[in-house]
Chain A
């Protein structure tokens, strides 16, 4: 409560002056948020604002807005001006915009990017332009393990982390039901970098945890596939204990809607360990979301039940009238990481200093449970966070979603990673 009051006071006396939305100062940038001061540190953000991924962009924008509110409320944070542009999830467009942000707008930081394939190419541009790329929504582990780009930092869990948690969940909750035989796994994922990376990370994690498993099939529908019926049929043709799905957003919604009219969810257990529990998916499906699906997300609207998470979710709802997808908290985290690093190193600090600051970063974020703070892994530039996996169950407390996750299984980084939480 004390924190909330502080925020309100500071918003009144300072932030209202800085907060300028939708200023068309550039022919390129569609949206500018934050300070209008020309000396403010510029952050160029790339999100899909149209098409199936459009919601991610809009939620990220509000997440950035909330972060800017928080930054403005504290005198220790520097002034930031955020430029937001629609990447349309195309590498060609995203790299061109990234280069423009760096060269023409003088952006020192890039942030965002939902698509992992696009992110890889944007990261190359960032490296060439010597600007920091703070990844928020893409999750492919290829960018961070091994780390080849010193200007790249990721502020959301990557697929390696979520798959390690998923493998742990399989070992603890699903393997005991197979009567001591290897668990039969079918995998379906979008045919691009993210899908490959999730599968590679899951099989590696299963091997690392000595989970006996047998691969039934792997299926690779196109990203934004319209008709999943041949794939659903193929999944049902062979006996399977677990179907692991790593689709996200509208693809996952379309898949579940099409599969719901078939016996697929009775055929085997169904899991999506990285993004399935995203509020966007739960809201889009409403009553169509079956019970008992194993899901997780990079941020949950109903977990952890901390004051910070509650404040973030309610603030988002107050601004937009709806609950946030994980992209909002990702963008919030990215911007807070930039503000924190600049607050520590100073706005005039060299790239090396800022990099070192980011490598040592510790942040308390809405998705952190009580007693835990997210921290940056120095070796991989990958944030280390707690992952909670739940199952879908009826819960109308956050409409329009009729099902939310519950029965949580919580996995801390120290439990499955060799990298311990730094004090």
Chain B
């Protein structure tokens, strides 16, 4: 049930709504941004790459055309048919050798190759720059660039870098029917490096596709696989530029940042939910405790306090409810007491009327019979009837005192005198029960109270103390002291004390633990003290019992003015 109602709570609804308001636009924005960014990136990269590829294609053509021009320059100079023979090197004039050296000083040219009209390799300059076997090996990789043949590149080996042969016929050579061929032995790595500008921004890795379905990277290494290229741009037959998009760099850093941001928001939302769950649980626990306390009050248990929850969110509410319970309890107790007093008053009035009058008649009659009786035995019996009637009368008096106590006749009482008087009255009883009475009171202390009521209360309390000793003897002390606000008379005994279950009900009328008691003594004491504006409290434990009679000092003034 709690889980079902959880989402109905205002705080839960507020939280879910807040999360929805914060997260839904964020996800919509992230989605739109993602789409926009992708489009922007592809627009920029595609546009840029097309421009760059066009530049690289042009650079390739320019590079080869420069080499063709170099061949043309050489062809103009190498116009002797003797050079185009197997031993043509021997027929090379010194000036032409110097020219060949000059042409091969370039980093992009390894050497110059000479071929006959049948395009058979004759010799090369420098001598070690090329060979018939190498020429034979590149025959399968022949392709055309403008008026020239391109052979190669050679198969990759670890021994030396590959070369490409650019071969062109020598047109118009004197004395020859068929034109021989002249070739430049080109550095293949220079060609492979031309597309390197396409890879400088890190988005693409450029490769060079060459005849024979072979692919090389920009430093002249053969590429591992031919299936992973995203774009291909033709250069000339058999030759192409291939681009592979780098996986890591395809997603720009900002995209990664975005995902981190979304992840962070999700984490924050999760943290909020967890915090909310913990706070809800804590509040529920506090409210449940409060509700349990209130329900106890509602079920009539006004005596059990609502447990305080200091330091919590409901602390003030708990204090207010506890105050309400306490006051409600007091009001109800007062009302009950008043009703009980009223009931007892009616009962006592009835008893006085219906029992006391017949009893008086019985008493007078018994006393008359006693006077006329001469038999000792009968006299004793009549005396006993008279005594018992007296006792019944006293019970009825007590009952009337409690139900309708006589209004106090207050006067300034010198306490030490009153206490000594009480001690004298009880002297015989104290002696009989082996009890010592100690009085501690300054001689100047006075109390504005009804002395009769005070006598009755003190005698009652000292007698109760004496009875608590069960004949074992003990000490009773009456102490009087003045506090700033009130005067306190304390009756202390060192008897066995009163059980806590009895202590709660000790002021209830007719509640007694004694077999012969009426249960009205303390109730009357309380009524008499309250009639004199005081209050009575009893503290008791196994070490003894202490009764406090507290009279406000201010009350006396009020009463005086009244």
Chain A residues in contact with chain B, CB under 8 A?
Answer: 90-92, 95-96, 117, 120-121, 142, 187, 191, 196, 199-200, 215, 217-224, 230-231, 234
Contacts and interface: CB of A to CB of B under 8 A. Distances in A.
Given A196-B160, A200-B159, A219 B126 contact: no
Contacts of A92: 98, 101-102, 105
Interface in B168-214: 187, 189-190, 193, 196, 199
Interface in B104-158: 104-105, 107, 126, 128, 158
B161 A234 contact: no
A343 B391 CA distance: 167
Interface stretch (B74-82, B217-225, B445-453): B217-225
Given A121-B126, A191-B187, A223-B107, A215 B221 contact: no
14 contacts: A90-B101, A92-B98, A92-B105, A95-B98, A120-B126, A121-B126, A142-B128, A187-B158, A191-B107, A199-B160, A219-B219, A219-B221, A221-B219, A234-B221
Contact of B161 (A95, A200, A220, A224): A220
A95 B97 CA distance: 10
A222 B159 contact: no
B73 to A, nearest CB: 14
Given A95-B98, A234-B221, A222 B107 contact: yes
Contacts of B221: 217, 219, 234
Size class of the B contact interface (CB-based, 8 Å): 20 to 34
B98 A96 contact: yes
Given A231-B219, A234-B217, A234-B219, A90 B159 contact: no
A219 B218 CA distance: 11
Contacts of B126: 117, 120-121
Contacts of A230: 193, 196, 199, 218-219
B155 to A, nearest CB: 14
Nearest to A193: B128
Contacts of B101: 90-92, 95, 121
A292 to B, nearest CB: 26
Contact of A191 (B97, B104, B161, B196): B161
A142 to B, nearest CB: 8
A147 B451 CA distance: 151
A48 to B, nearest CB: 13
A224 B190 CA distance: 13
Interface of B: 97-98, 101-102, 104-105, 107, 126, 128, 158-161, 187, 189-190, 193, 196, 199, 217-221
B189 A220 contact: yes
Contacts of A142: 128
Contacts, number: 60
Nearest to A185: B158
Nearest to A191: B161
Q: What are the 4 tightest A-B residue pairs by CB atom distance, in nearest-first order? A: A92-B101, A92-B102, A220-B161, A218-B158
B216 to A, nearest CB: 11
Contacts of B98: 92, 95-96
A132 to B, nearest CB: 21
Contact of A91 (B104, B160, B219, B220): B104
Nearest to A235: B219
Given A121-B126, A230-B196, 11 more contacts: A90-B102, A90-B105, A91-B105, A199-B159, A219-B220, A221-B219, A222-B107, A224-B107, A230-B193, A234-B219, A234-B221
Q: Most chain-A CB neighbours within 10 Å: which of B107, B187, B199?
A: B107
B497 to A, nearest CB: 89
A220 B220 contact: yes
A96 B101 CA distance: 10
A199 B158 CA distance: 9
Q: Determine which residue in A121, A191, A196 has the highest number of CB atoms from chain B within 10 A of its CB, and name it.
A: A191
Contacts of B107: 191, 222-224
Contacts of B218: 230
A117 to B, nearest CB: 8
Nearest to A142: B128
A234 B98 CA distance: 38
A231 B221 CA distance: 10
Contacts of B190: 222
Contact of B158 (A91, A95, A96, A215): A215
Contacts of A223: 107
Nearest to A219: B219
Contacts of A231: 219
Contacts of A90: 101-102, 105
A200 B199 CA distance: 32
A372 B199 CA distance: 54
A218 B190 CA distance: 15
B467 to A, nearest CB: 102
A172 to B, nearest CB: 24
Contacts of A191: 107, 161, 187, 189
Contacts of A196: 159-160
A222 B186 CA distance: 13
- Which one of A142, A199, A220, A221 has the highest number of Cβ atoms from chain B below 10 Å of its Cβ? A220
A200 B159 CA distance: 7
Contacts of A219: 219-221
Contacts of A222: 107, 187, 189-190
Contacts of B102: 90, 92
Contacts of B219: 219, 221, 230-231, 234
A224 B196 CA distance: 18
A230 B199 CA distance: 10
Contacts of A218: 158-159
A12 to B, nearest CB: 46
A90 B101 CA distance: 8
B152 to A, nearest CB: 15
A196 B163 CA distance: 14
A200 B158 CA distance: 10
Contacts of B97: 95
